[in-house]
Amino acid sequence: MRRYLLLALLMAFALAHAATGPYDEAADAKADIGAVLTEARQSKLPVLVVFGANWCGDCKMLDAAFKTGAAAPLIARNFHVVKVNVGKFDRNVDIAEFYGVPLKKGIPAVVVLSAQGKPLYATRGGELADARAMGDTGVYDFFAKIAAAQSR
């Protein structure tokens, strides 16, 4: 009996930790984007919408790069960020489609919106789908080009 109880506790612990990650699975993505666009209109900064999932290693790497990597200050200075959970490509797919982001090319994927909500740039070919291989420098370089294009 103790063996089964221990096994059940271990499985519950593993499931609880497997579900954690950078993407809020209970979030209302449309409301989150709307709230960030309201902030963007006041600051005049574009909005970076990041589509990803908690099971995705490349998504986790990109999130870490945004928090502590070389790209972190660049992202904080040039964009408002909102993360959108796509689950197993069964959540918020309509939002990605609306902004012209083909999720079938891979995640993470991004769209940059003007403060008024108009798409300015979107990954269309899975440019970030191999973020781990890009490394911290590659992620920085990718977003430095996007930030430079938005400041013109």
Q: Is residue 15 in some structural domain?
A: no
For 125-138, what is each residue's pLDDT tens digit? 999 999 999 999 99
pLDDT of 88 reads 97
On whether the CB atoms of residues 78 and 45 are closer than 8 A, the answer is yes
Q: Is residue 6 in some structural domain?
A: no
How many domains are contained in the chain? 1
CA-to-CA separations, 12 to 1, 3, 15, 22, 41, in angstroms, rounded: 17, 14, 5, 20, 43
Average pLDDT of the residues in 11-31: 74
User: The domain containing residue 65 runs over which residues?
Assistant: 22-151
pLDDT of 7 reads 39
pLDDT of 9 reads 41
Name residue, tokens 């891979």: 106
Give the domain CATH number at 70: 3.40.30.10
Q: Is residue 56 in some structural domain?
A: yes
Q: Is residue 104 in some structural domain?
A: yes
DSSP 105: G
E-strand spans in the chain?
A: 47-52, 80-85, 109-113, 119-122
For 35-77, what is each residue's pLDDT tens digit? 999 999 999 999 999 999 999 999 999 999 999 999 999 999 9
Q: Chain centroid to CA 83: how far? A: 4
pTM over 0.85: yes
On whether the CB atoms of residues 129 and 106 are closer than 8 A, the answer is yes
pLDDT of 2 reads 52
Q: Is residue 74 in some structural domain?
A: yes
